[in-house]
Amino acid sequence: MMFKKCLMVIMLCMLVPLMVACGGDEVGQIDLENFEFPNPELPVILIDIEGYGQMIAELYPEYAPITVHNFIELIEAGFYNGLTFHRIIEGFVMQGGCPYGTGFGNSGRTIIGEFSSNGIENPLRHTRGVLSMARGGHDYNSASSQFFIMHANVHSLDDDYAAFGRVIYGLEVIDLVIGNATPVDFNGTISSDEQPVIREIRLINGSQIELD
């Protein structure tokens, strides 16, 4: 009898780590205290997605100062915390930052589109992990709060959208989000109850930039 009890205890102990490991796909928390920034002079943000994990991204004011200034301003106001990624397309993008979760909302303010088709040179290409601003239709100056993160290289977006940052750590989080997405149409629309939630976006290196 004693032997059976001991055997049961051993089996339960073996199951515990398995249950922890299978409890979810979320990538572990990033050790920010020991994280080495490739370029300490750049603004760097943490993007924390509920149930998926964290990403670190550099922002490039050298190429898109107005866009970066606007993005940091929204971050510091806590605008993105609790919002979602409402549009997800494999091999293309994951898009979020709409206060309504529909793709039709903004922050109440629009900015100039910093890309070549709008007369502003921006050499950043739309490669995997790049952050860029969404905008409305043919209005080049309609970007506001919605942004997208590239899942793959899509150079047809180059020169027509304001790329302004790049994920430098946590690219696997993008793959997890994309892999679990179940769009309801060809536009990548995600049902409101299935949209990945942005737990937090915050500035972890640098500060708000000064515009000329």
For the full predicted model, state whether its pTM sits above 0.85. Answer: yes
pLDDT at 7: 41
Tokens representing 145 are 């709060």
Segments of 108-187 assigned E as strands: 130-133, 147-150, 163-169
What's the pLDDT score for residue 18?
31
Res 26: pLDDT: 78
Structural domains of the chain ordered from first start: 41-205 (2.40.100.10)
What distance in Å separates the CA atoms of residue 166 and residue 118, rounded to the nearest whole number? 21
CA 201 to CA 16: how far, in whole Å?
33
Query: What does the alpha-carbon distance between residue 60 and residue 8 come to, in Å, rounded to a whole number?
Result: 57
According to DSSP, the residues that pair with 85 across neighbouring strands are: 96
CA-closest candidate to residue 144, choices 111, 99, 101: 111
The three-class DSSP label of residue 174 is: helix
Distance CA 149, CA 133 (A): 9
Strand partners, 165: 59, 131
Give the pLDDT confidence score for residue 14 in this predicted structure. Answer: 40
DSSP 9-78: HHHHHHHHHHHHHTS--PPPPP-GGG---SSTTS-EEEEEETTTEEEEEEE-TTT-HHHHHHHHHHHHTT
Q: What is the mean pLDDT of each run of 10 residues along the chain (212 residues)?
A: 44 35 60 92 97 98 98 98 98 98 97 98 98 96 98 98 98 97 98 98 92 84
> What pLDDT does residue 210 have?
86
